[in-house]
Structure 1
Amino acid sequence: MIFGNINQEKTYEFLPENVKACFKYVKEYDLLNYEKGTHKIDGDNLYVNVAEYTTVKREERFWEAHKAYLDIHILVKGEETIDINFIENMKLGEYKEADDFLPMEGDMQASVTLKPGDFLICYPEDAHRTGVIATKVSDLKKGIFKVKI
């Protein structure tokens, strides 16, 4: 996983172009005005799921990972903690290929707190639990970019 901010362009020059395209997209388009749901950018190769929700206690959230897509969470409003671990440390559920969703259970190894402009890139081996309260309950909006592997 990689945690950073979309405004640190020089730091992330090494990333593939299709990942940097997500950062560029957020700068060029105002996701705050997007409706919730899926918005295609390059067909099934690259799209963004715009999500809006309120953060809750970690016990109320679930762990997940994905095999077919990178998950790039870019926050545009609010504050959110995302718990992270590696899938080999977790008890894996049954992979749902149609949804590219691998549920799991386990403990967090670390966490990151996202504020507007921050991102977290999750690779297939990265377990993540989103929507956790950071400093206080927060209404958030973010783009979850899906980059086909």
Structure 2
Amino acid sequence: MIVDTLANRNLYSHISPRIAKALAHLSETDFSQLEVGTYELDGKDLFVIVNDYETKPREMEPFEVHQQYIDVQYVFSGEEEFGYLPLADQTPSKPYFAKHDYAEFDYQSNKDAAAFIPFKAGMFALFFPEDMHMPGTSATPKQVRKVVIKVKI
């Protein structure tokens, strides 16, 4: 996992050309002008999801992991927190669903080991396949516009 602001995006562009393209897109795009939805940057290898939502309490959300894509998550407006825990030897509460590249892990089983990190407008996070993460939470409901770029591994 990597967490930083877009001002430092060039520090991470060497990881892969697709991550470099994703970070450049985040810095060059005015997401206030886009409708909620999915947009292709490079077919299924690189695509953008723009979403507006209200955060939920930790207890209502599962942890998740992905095997086929790296998540580049960016808070365009608002603020939330996300949970993080290394995947290590965790057991999913729901099996991996290949069609949506998603496995789910129970919050209650992992709450004592997880770290919760503030995630504010202008910040991005890279979640790799070994990173369990729980996005979209906060103690009190908050409106968030988040952009997720899915980067094919």
TM-score (norm 1): 0.91
Q: Deviations over 1:78-123 (max 9, x none)?
A: 0010001122253213110011011112324212211111011111
Q: Relative to structure 2, which stretch is displaced further, 116-125 or 105-114? A: 105-114
Counterparts in 2 of 1:123 and 1:42: CA distance versus 1, 3 Å: same
Q: Is the contact between residue 50 and residue 144 of structure 1 (CA under 8 Å) also seen in structure 2? A: yes
1:13 CA drift (Å): 4.5
- Larger % of helix: which? 2
1:125 CA drift (Å): 0.9
Q: Which residue of 2 aligns with 1:97?
A: 98
Q: Which residue of 1 aligns with 2:67?
A: 67
1:14 CA drift (Å): 3.4
Q: How does 1:1-149 map to 2 (within 5 A)?
A: 1-92=1-92, 93-105=94-106, 106-108=109-111, 109-133=114-138, 136-149=140-153
TM-score (norm 2): 0.89
Give the distance between the partners of 2:117 and 2:11, measured in 1 at CA. Answer: 18
1:10 CA drift (Å): 4.4
Which portions of structure 1, spanning 4 or more consecutive aligned residues, are displaced by more than 2 angstroms? 9-15, 88-91
What is the SS of the residue equivalent to 2:110? coil
Q: Relative to structure 2, which stretch is displaced further, 54-63 or 100-109? A: 100-109
Give the distance between the partners of 1:14 and 1:42, measured in 2 at CA. Answer: 18
Q: Is the contact between residue 70 and residue 147 of structure 1 (CA under 8 Å) also seen in structure 2? A: yes
Give the distance between the partners of 2:133 and 2:80, measured in 1 at CA. Answer: 12
Gaps of 5+ in 2: none
Q: Is the contact between residue 14 and residue 20 of structure 2 (CA under 8 Å) also seen in structure 1? A: no
What is the number of residues matched between the two proteins? 148
Gaps of 5+ in 1: none
What is the SS of the residue equivalent to 1:94? strand
Q: Relative to structure 2, which stretch is displaced further, 59-68 or 7-16? A: 7-16
1:19 CA drift (Å): 0.8
1:31 CA drift (Å): 1.3
RMSD (CA atoms) = 1.6
Give the distance between the partners of 1:63 and 1:56, measured in 2 at CA. Answer: 13
> What letter matches 1:84 in structure 2?
Y
What is the SS of the residue equivalent to 1:91? coil
Q: Is the contact between residue 55 and residue 140 of structure 1 (CA under 8 Å) also seen in structure 2? A: yes
